[in-house]
Structure 1
Amino acid sequence: MEAHLVPAHRGCVSRQRLLLAVSLLTIWMSSAAAEMTIEVTPPNPVEGNDVNIIVRNLPIDTTVHFWYIGRSSIFRQLIVAYEKDTKKNFPGPAFTGQETISHSSSLLIRNITRKHTGYYIFQVMKPFYQTEEVFTWLRVHCEYPSLTFDCLWLVHESQLLRIFCPPISAPDPLVLCCAFENNYMPSGQTLKVFINGPDTPLISPSYVFYPPGASVNLSCYADSDPPAEYTWLVNGKVQKPSRELFIPNISQSVDQSYTCYVYNSVTRLHRTADKTFAVK
């Protein structure tokens, strides 16, 4: 009778399969990691507050972190840079002395004023000089009495729209009249307030070079009071209303255009911004 031979390396094969499964799981978990974001706290600061812009889901493989104020990450708008290995800070041209960057790279701004209103960009540098950035909008409000009231908005002195009026501050554009209808002020007395926007939207991330097949999650934001309505257009085709647009597969052979459309229902103004990619 012939003996059945059992391969001596059978245990090794099972072990190799297990290691392969663990490796694939690790790769999947890495790809499913949450995206980096930033958050302003408190969300509606007034003059004199301390504001902390917190970084969430900071990537591990970073070398230098940058904070900018403005719509683009250029040197003259650099607030501060933080070198991760040496834990040293390097103030930039936009540094005012009120900003402090922590070891977690969150940005603390003390005793804020209206001049701190604007876009804030957080950028990280990775090995081989790759960069990733996110942005947020910080609006600093004037301090008003805590009175609230119902009112009528007189839009262009013709159309009436009843809404709830909280204390409001804004820098300029469209002036509307608010006619009080409560016990705080005599009936018919008016107060001029400022309603503005939307500004030209800003699309993040600003990076344009991607390999074929890459996935990208676009985010659009425009300063607007009241908040704007967001819609994406892909090759002119309207998508579901959202600030976010997920692109699962960037193709080198397909030329597609991505447009963020924002609309303010009170001012009746709209703005757009386009996004293109370079696939290589």
Structure 2
Amino acid sequence: MTPDVSVVVPTFRRPVLVGEAVRSALSQADDGVRVEVLVLDDSPEGSAREPVLALGDARVRYVKRDVPTGGNPATVRNEGWPLTTGRYLHFLDDDDRVAPGAYRALMQALDVKADRGVAFGRVAPFGEDAGVLARQTAYFEDAARRARVAQRLGSRRWMVANMLFRPTVLVNSACLIRRELLPALGGYDARLPLVEDVDFYLRAIRRAGAVFLDRVVLEYRTGAPSLMHNERDASKAVSAYRLIHERYRREWGAAEHTALRLATRTFLRWL
């Protein structure tokens, strides 16, 4: 029988955490959701093989990639999803956990809103560093608030404007997407050094719309702060967003891009 949800999990040297991620996806079957999980190991030594195979679950497949990407999950995801068969796709990061009942809720939202291509929900961060956790909690609470506002406004362009010109309202693992959208989207953009998930779901939402669920669908792991890491990531993010904006202007026109920017600076800033 065809799975309801195909879960694609790229992993790199996180043997313990990827096991948690996979188990959280498999547990969605408790709600009657048919799940298949594909784990793509991007480490040279195949560090995830033992913990994944130890699960002993026929719904889980392990693939050791022949040539590691050196840290490009977009490439790994693009290789993975054509190997699956589910009606919906979930691209799960190897250190996150699917919240109980998430797949059933996201699927039902898309079944009701047949004209929408993406469903996403709220994110609940967790971690040991209290300062980081507090900041991430505040961020995701604000993201959920802005997603609610954009949804009430109706047009998919309001959600897109939030992603183009404000901090993103979603993260990769919080989204479920219809399989039939992937060929037209061309998958993730492997050129992007960072925020490839923002680009991917921005394009998907602009093309096919989204529905936001005001409930937790993802448990998002936070890490310890690192000045070097943050500075490096900030530089990569600037480069990535430059490419994202260039693509948007090319595909949807400079006039729409400018209109969304002006709307964000005037109307959305007060919401």
Alignment TM-score, normalising by the size of structure 1: 0.28
Bigger Rg over Cα:
1
Q: Which has the higher contact order (CA 8 A, sep 6+)?
A: 2
> Which structure has greater helix proportion?
2
Alignment TM-score, normalising by the size of structure 2: 0.29
> Which structure has greater strand proportion?
1
